[in-house]
Structure 1
Amino acid sequence: MGGSLFDRNPGDRIEVLAPDGSVLAPALVPDLSDEQWAAMYRDMRFCRRFDERMISLQRQGRMGTYSSLAGQEGSQIGSTYALADDDMIAYQYREHGALVARGMPWEYLLYWMGHEAGNARLADIEVFPLNITIGDHIPHAVGYAWAAKLNGDEHVTVAHFGDGATSEGDFHEALNFAGVFDTPNVFFCNNNQWAISVPRKRQTASETLAGKASAYGFEGVQVDGMDPLAVYAVTRAAREKALDPDDGQRRSTLIEAIQYRYGAHTTADDPSNYRDDEEVEEWKERDPIDRFEAYLRDEGVLDDERIEEVEEGIEESITELVDRAEGYEADPKSMFEHAFAEPTPRLAEQREYLQHLREEYGDEALLADE
């Protein structure tokens, strides 16, 4: 499967579903059961609703700055479903869907509420800690994949990043290393057309981002990122090639998933300053959930009753996540735990002073404007 998908120009975008849900490439439709299709749909719907709730919580002051994923559900769920459970994922900060597909732990919400403890459970689902700095995680993903290859482990490492990351030195250094040392990586570029307020055309003069792979000696492919079936097919083929490349191929693949970010870069951003609403509406005509739902209805996997059940289950699950996260009580002393391997005298003095305030006046003292 891998060779046929990659035997094309990087600018030839792979699509399986048309915007109306009809099938364009029957040979590329993944061979999944009705239960697997339904699970993919549920997770995509979960992502959209999760996004809405997180933004609402942020606006109410119950959560910190949050990065919206709306419009990118097809790429995040489609790519993660194509992996094995023990494949490692390194992501930026917008790919919440990758965690949803892996069974998002409730502690994840804590990170967005200001608690570093929110990163602690990600290792349990084979996900690297959340990365905020643009592109810094890509070299780590390559190093992890190289170690897996040296150990003879049968898994790949997938690095998610945005189009803006391709302008960072970390991107080029990592992909160059991957090409030289032939590491089992899948580099997944979520090209959502905007690096905050900088459009794709200002990022590079290259015709495509997928075409950059040729400079590093491996293959690149462009896929419709709002088509979950196409994303699944391409990611699956890239995974197979990473573990068992054909003669003359290199293991790594750069996937450029063409998609669009419906909302703001983060809840601290105002996209009306740099783009028009008309552009957003045009992209929404290719909505990944709508087209996937239309396909599954035609296949007899979904109907109104099944969709209503899915929606009710999603509301219950998200409510439970939020309730557990908001019930978390952090210990203020934890801020001192990882500043140094061994606490300095000054740090110990500050910790003791904090403890004294809490014992004398209670936690309210920590919020006083003094």
Structure 2
Amino acid sequence: MSTATNELTTPGTSVRAPFTVAVTADAAKPDGSSIHGDLGLRRLTEQGVQWHVLPSYTDPIPPADLTGVHAVLSLGHIAFDARTLDHAPDLRLIARFGAGFETIDLESCTRAGVVVTNTPDAIRRPLAVAGLTLLLALAHKLLAKDRLTRTSDWAARERYRGAPIVGQTVGIVGFGSVGAELARLLAPLGMKVVGNNRSGRHPEAAGLGVELLGLDELLERSDYVVLCAALTPETENLIGADALARMKPSAHLINIGRGKLVDTDALRRALQTGLIAGAGLDVFEPEPLLPDDALLTLDNVVLSPHSLCWTKDFTRDVSAAALGSILATAAGKRPLNVLNPEVFDSAAFAAKQGRNHDS
């Protein structure tokens, strides 16, 4: 959901007390550098917002580490539940660096008066490009051909002919903003796109020529199935043995959503027995894969360590969106991309705003 920027304070007022941000240590070092690159934390400093990286990667965050913290920049998937929030009386905002929020209990956040935001617009194009990258790599059997070249086994190349692109059907499961962006990227390649989502509707579907189908029909018709769905109790293990059996033997499964969308044991069997032609995976369950996982040995699987969309523009845009949420909250404004907009009507939120202005 997206909430327009609105003043929460009386016009002309500002936050009097220092505003403190904790950055999670799962992807950042004490100096603020991160595995994603430059997060642009100097923007916070320039606006008088104090920040620090948490002393350790602990999930959930210890209560002592949230004392006096007004916002958390969550770079990964640390859990925030009622127990954690009960020990964070000053917390007003959890800003997710990315789109996924399955480890955040939104209802508990709302009761605690904590706003939760994510960055769906910033991640849309990089994630769609990641899906396209895996699709093309699978279609052209790029992994196997790379290996043949490195081992000078050119004689074996005739066994690895590419699959068609033009006229093939791509089924996007969880057809939302990322799926729509992927459909735009696929259109010039002459591929047909069908989609599936929980509501059976999407405002851009018709304009993009995307037919929305039930999941079973999508699986049966698609040559490439791309998973973009959010992880919820309803979508966990959405693609299991029955779903894989519905796919064409020539079809490929691509997962750029969450590892738990797929029953990994069932997928492993499907790939080993030829039930489906191949898979492109940027996400897994568990992460990282265990060293003896059979997926690591298969020629018909292209793997990426949950980072295929990590590009310079990804970091720039996602950081800008997440920091924008923090700066808006520090200034007493409503940030964009609020996941629990009902929080603004809660007594707990009003109380925190009141404490802010009394400081």
What's the TM-score once normalised by structure 1's chain length? Answer: 0.28
Q: Which has the higher strand share?
A: 2
What's the TM-score once normalised by structure 2's chain length? Answer: 0.29
